């Protein structure tokens, strides 16, 4: 029974019914969140005031162009002056409407209906401000989603924004990866809120669903990080992601080592066993705590030392990776990693990449007990 249930779950992933990736952009508001930089309140107020002044100036121009079609009840014999036009445009747009100046010709009345009335509505909406923001926020978010979906290429998708997902994102940001090149997928709205505060694009949904993965751009992603909390979920997510993108680099985290072969068969390029890694560090801490401190430092790109990758420079070609200005740990050649003492990479070639220890700060401080 369990064996028949798994294929049904897999087929359900690719069911065309109610697919998120097929929905129009406006229907994705609330599911996809594309962050944007908010300007200061004073800047927003100034911008709205300038729009309001612009509306008044335009109304003055329209009124002045049709000044012969207006009549001032207080001075019916004289024509409209520029001051009269400014006065009429102001009281008209602000809906004060004293009634002392009125349009009397057909063309002036038509200009009021077609031009002045829309300006009056625009003026009121601009001054209300918060109403404008509430009315247009969905449209602006729809536009951002449309622009984001059309330009999404070679990004990284992080599935699961728990402790492991947040740590993975922090490491990428510390390595100067732009927040806009990272898409986070999670079911937890609070977790996605934290991701959005970092400027990350977020998609609300389950990473086990193919339409959610497509919406996150898995088909065009350069790399995929599977950081779910449950191993069988990680296997299912990896299988779906590999089906959608055969070329992406998939890195998955699992808790138990006996599930490593399952997730590798599902298509993961690299597997991190969190429980065993933590256990090794705990064991080392009882004997050589300094090794644990140094290991933690290497895994924290923002401080101390960090492991990084860079291309071989022109003056380094033909040399040995063991005699470099940087402490080289390995060489990546044709997509395969070789340890620094491997004779295969004893001479550096064009296209090689070096895995080295990068110094962020000059010293490391031993953690106090």
- The 10s digit of each residue's pLDDT in 60-91 is 898 888 888 887 777 777 778 888 888 888 88
Q: Please spell the DSSP secondary structure of 115-144, one letter per residue.
A: IIHHHHHHHHHHHH-HHHHHHHHHHHHHHH
Mean pLDDT computed over 320-339? 88
Does 100 score more than 50 pLDDT? yes
Pull the structure tokens for residue 92: 């008209």
Over 70: is that where the pLDDT of 1 sits?
no
| Least confident piece of the model among 64-78, 107-121, 127-141, 344-358 | 127-141
3-state helix, strand, coil in the chain (%, to 5): 50, 15, 30
pLDDT, greater one: 348 or 294: 348
Query: What pLDDT, on a 0 to 100 scale, did the predictor assign at position 118?
Result: 85
Class for the domain spanning 288-359: alpha beta
The better pLDDT of the pair 355, 305 is held by 355
Quick one: pLDDT at residue 75? 75
Dist CA 302 CA 367 (whole Å): 17
Token output for 348: 């550096």
pLDDT (mean) for 31-49: 65
User: Which pLDDT belongs to residue 234?
Assistant: 93
What pLDDT sits at residue 14?
46
User: What number does CATH give the domain 41-130?
Assistant: 1.10.287
Determine the average pLDDT of the residues in 213-220: 91
Tell me: the pLDDT tens digits for 224-273? 999 998 999 999 999 999 999 999 999 999 888 888 889 999 999 989 88
β-pairing verdict for 182-186 and 201-204: parallel
Q: Specify the pLDDT at position 249.
A: 93
Mean pLDDT of 275-293: 74
Encoded tokens for 279: 């256990």
Mean pLDDT of 176-195: 90
pLDDT band at 12 (very low <50, low <70, confident <90, very high): very low
Q: Are the beta carbons of 218 and 185 closer than 8 angstroms?
A: no
Q: CA-CA distance, 57 to 89, in Å (whole number)?
A: 8
Rounded average pLDDT over 108-112: 82
* Mean pLDDT along residues 16-34: 67
**Domain residue extents for the chain:** 2-33+153-276, 41-130, 288-359
Higher pLDDT, 21 or 198: 198
Buried b / exposed e across 200-225, counting CB within 10 Å, b at 16+?
A: bbbbbbbbbbbbbbbbbbbbbbebbb
pLDDT for res 41: 53
| 38 CB-near residues (< 8 Å, 6+ apart) | none
Q: Are strands 201-204 and 32-33 parallel, antiparallel or unpaired?
A: antiparallel
Task: Give the residue-averaged pLDDT of 132-156.
Answer: 73
Whole-angstrom distance, CA of residue 221 vs CA of residue 231: 23
| pTM passes above 0.85 | no
Q: How far is CA 83 from CA 73, 79, 162, 335, in A?
A: 15, 11, 64, 75
CATH class for domain 2-33+153-276? alpha beta
């Amino acid at each position: 029974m369990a064996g028949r249930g798994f294929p049904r779950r897999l087929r359900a992933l690719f069911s065309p019914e109610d697919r998120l990736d097929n929905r129009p952009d406006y229907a994705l508001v609330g599911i996809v969140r594309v962050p944007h930089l908010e300007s200061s309140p004073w800047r927003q107020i100034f911008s709205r005031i300038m729009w309001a002044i612009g509306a008044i100036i335009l109304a003055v121009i329209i009124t002045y162009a049709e000044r012969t079609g207006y009549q001032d009840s207080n001075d019916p014999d004289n024509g409209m002056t520029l001051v009269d036009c400014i006065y009429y445009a102001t009281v008209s747009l602000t809906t004060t409407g004293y009634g002392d100046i009125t349009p009397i010709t057909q063309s002036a009345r038509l200009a009021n209906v077609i031009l002045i009335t829309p300006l009056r509505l625009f003026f009121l909406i601009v001054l209300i401000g918060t109403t404008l923001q509430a009315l247009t926020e969905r449209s602006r978010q729809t536009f951002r989603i449309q622009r984001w979906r059309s330009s999404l290429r070679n990004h990284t998708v992080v599935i699961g924004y728990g402790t492991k997902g947040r740590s993975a994102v922090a490491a990428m940001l510390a390595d100067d990866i732009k927040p806009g090149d990272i898409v986070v997928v999670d079911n937890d709205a609070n977790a996605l809120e934290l991701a959005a505060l970092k400027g990350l694009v977020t998609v609300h949904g389950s990473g086990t669903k193919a339409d959610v993965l497509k919406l996150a751009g898995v088909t065009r992603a350069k790399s995929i990080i599977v950081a779910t909390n449950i191993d069988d979920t990680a296997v299912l997510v990896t299988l779906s992601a590999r089906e959608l993108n055969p070329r992406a680099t998939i890195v998955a985290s699992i808790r138990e080592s006996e599930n490593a072969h399952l997730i590798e068969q599902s298509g993961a390029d690299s597997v991190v066993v969190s429980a065993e890694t933590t256990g090794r560090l705990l064991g080392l801490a009882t004997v050589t705590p300094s090794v644990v401190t140094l290991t933690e430092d290497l895994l924290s790109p923002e401080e101390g030392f960090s492991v990084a990758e860079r291309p071989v420079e022109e003056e380094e070609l033909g040399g040995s990776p063991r005699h470099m200005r940087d402490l080289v740990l390995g060489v990546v050649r044709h997509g395969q990693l070789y340890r620094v003492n491997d004779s295969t990479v004893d001479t550096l070639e064009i296209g090689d990449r070096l895995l080295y220890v990068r110094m962020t700060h000059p010293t490391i401080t031993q953690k106090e007990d």
